[in-house]
């Protein structure tokens, strides 16, 4: 997976992960119960590996456990807000995929419709053929389209370009100037540009931008009053923990403020709203059974398997094995400064959402990933 603005830091350590493969739920065991003390212990463990701020929420049948650790502002004792806002980055993709599948359920498009049918003339040239790429492939990251999403190789570049604005159409146009990465449907490779294409398809079908469809079709019905499109401002609403990139030996760099308003990761939310969305989705409240079943049809995701053994990818939704048996559904999000990890039980009754206001650029990122994964596994395995 090519490093991008949203994912470069995470993929930079993939080689290290390959040499230190972690079994699913490593260190986690099924527990007869999971209480506030358990959650606090697990949140503290995420902090101890170098995460500046953490907040986590476990919800089961309307009952919440909430814990925080660390500080909201580096170098201070200001506490992390228990339900503060955060950039949820690529967790946005699950919201976007839900809207696309609602449109499929309404008969306004089909998963097997081609990009050429849905957006005539947009994907052509340099070996790209919109007649061979389907909506399903875009949702599942199997389109082969070159990922032209902006990527920066240093902190200096990020600071220089973090306020640069671009449109979905501009990035898609850049992508088709390149040859495809592979034949459509032949492989799996995470692709932000594909979700920008999906946003154009949603707008063509509905006459409204993707974020307005998310607001009308998902946020409003579920009462997600604190799930917002970030495209109107470069800032994160208060209250929030500030987001930091940690690249030793440099001091943590505050990257809270930036432009990030596209369909690949442009939502801001809270642990409560994000968990409510995931429970509603897996509980069958947002999609008819047929479309939810399609969403849960997964393929191997080799790059994800390297980090999360056993992980597979559906349509804007991933699965991962639980140490106690079965699996859970999730979609993470990585943005410079913020990291989101989620989990929801197969029946949609229990959810776990972890917000970390730190992206770590050395081997400690593996420990951060493992600590967050262990928290989710323990919370979902508890009875």
Q: Is residue 125 part of a domain?
A: no
Q: How many residues does the chain have?
A: 383
Q: Per the domain annotation, does 127 fall within a domain?
A: no
pLDDT score of 355: 98
User: Does the pLDDT of residue 368 top 70, yes or no?
Assistant: yes
pLDDT at 154: 85
pLDDT band at residue 250 using 50, 70 and 90 as cut-offs: confident
> Does the residue 175 lie in any domain?
no
Q: Is residue 78 part of a domain?
A: yes
Residue 25 pLDDT > 50, yes or no? no
What's the pLDDT at 148? 96
**271-289 pLDDT per residue, tens:** 999 999 999 999 999 999 9
CATH at 248? 3.40.710.10
Confidence of residue 61 (pLDDT cuts 50, 70, 90): confident
The pLDDT tens digits for 340-359 are 999 999 999 999 999 999 99
**Structural domains in the chain (count):** 1
Residue 194 lies in a domain: no
Summarize the confidence of residues 251-260 as an average pLDDT.
95
The predicted structure's pLDDT at residue 70 = 98
Q: What is the mean pLDDT of residues 226-234?
A: 95
Whether 15 is covered by a domain: the verdict is yes
Domain of 326 in residue numbering reads as 8-108+211-381
Does the bond joining 239 to the residue before it have cis omega, within 30 degrees of 0?
Answer: yes
Judged by average pLDDT, the poorest of 3-12, 139-148, 241-250, 338-347 is 3-12
Say yes or no to pLDDT of 11 above 70.
Answer: no
Predicted pLDDT of residue 32:
59
Calculate mean pLDDT across residues 59-78.
95
Question: What gap in Å lies between CA 180 and CA 126, rounded to an integer?
Answer: 8
Q: For residue 116, is it within any domain?
A: no
pLDDT confidence tier of residue 183, bands split at 50, 70 and 90? very high
pLDDT-derived band at 153 (thresholds 50, 70, 90) equals confident
pLDDT-derived band at 16, boundaries 50, 70, 90: very low
Q: Is residue 170 part of a domain?
A: no
* Structure confidence by residue, pLDDT tens digits, 79-114: 999 999 999 999 999 999 999 999 999 999 999 999
* More reliable by pLDDT, 361 or 131: 131
Give the percent of the chain with pLDDT over 70.
91
Dump pLDDT digits (tens) for 296-306.
Answer: 999 999 988 88
Q: What average pLDDT does this structure show over 204-211?
A: 98
pLDDT at 313 over 80: yes
């Amino acid at each position: 997976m090519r490093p991008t603005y949203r994912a470069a830091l995470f993929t930079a350590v993939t080689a290290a992960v390959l040499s230190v493969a972690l079994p699913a739920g490593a260190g986690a065991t099924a527990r007869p119960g999971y209480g506030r003390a358990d959650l606090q212990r697990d949140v503290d463990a995420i902090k101890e590996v170098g995460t500046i701020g953490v907040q986590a929420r476990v919800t089961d049948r309307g009952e919440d456990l909430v814990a925080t650790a660390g500080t909201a502002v580096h170098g201070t004792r200001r506490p992390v807000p228990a339900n503060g806002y955060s950039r949820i980055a690529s967790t946005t993709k699950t919201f976007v995929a839900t809207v696309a599948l609602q449109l499929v359920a309404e008969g306004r498009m089909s998963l097997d419709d081609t990009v050429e049918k849905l957006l005539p003339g947009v994907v052509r040239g340099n070996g790209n053929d919109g007649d061979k790429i389907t909506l399903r492939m875009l949702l599942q990251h199997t389109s082969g389209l070159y990922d032209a999403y902006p990527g920066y190789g240093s902190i200096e570049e990020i600071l220089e370009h973090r306020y640069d604005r671009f449109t979905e159409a501009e990035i898609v146009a850049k992508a088709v100037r390149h040859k495809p990465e592979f034949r459509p449907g032949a492989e799996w490779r995470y692709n932000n540009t594909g979700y920008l294409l999906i946003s154009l398809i949603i707008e063509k079908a509905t006459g409204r931008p993707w974020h307005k469809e998310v607001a009308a079709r998902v946020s409003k019905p579920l009462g997600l009053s604190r799930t917002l499109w970030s495209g109107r401002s470069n800032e994160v609403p208060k209250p929030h923990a500030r987001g930091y990139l940690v690249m030793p030996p440099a001091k943590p760099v505050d990257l809270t403020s930036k432009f990030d308003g596209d369909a690949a990761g442009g939502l801001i939310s809270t642990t409560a709203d994000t968990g409510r969305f995931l429970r509603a989705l897996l509980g069958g409240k947002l999609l008819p059974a047929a479309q939810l079943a399609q969403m849960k049809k997964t393929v191997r995701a080799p790059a994800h398997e390297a980090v999360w053994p056993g992980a597979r990818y559906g349509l804007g939704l991933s699965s991962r094995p639980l140490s106690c048996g079965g699996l859970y559904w999730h979609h993470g999000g990585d943005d410079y400064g913020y990291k989101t990890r989620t989990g929801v039980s197969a029946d949609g009754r229990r959810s776990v959402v972890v917000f970390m206001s730190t992206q770590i650029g050395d081997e400690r990122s593996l420990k951060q990933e493992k600590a967050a994964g262990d928290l989710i596994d323990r919370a979902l395995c508890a009875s």
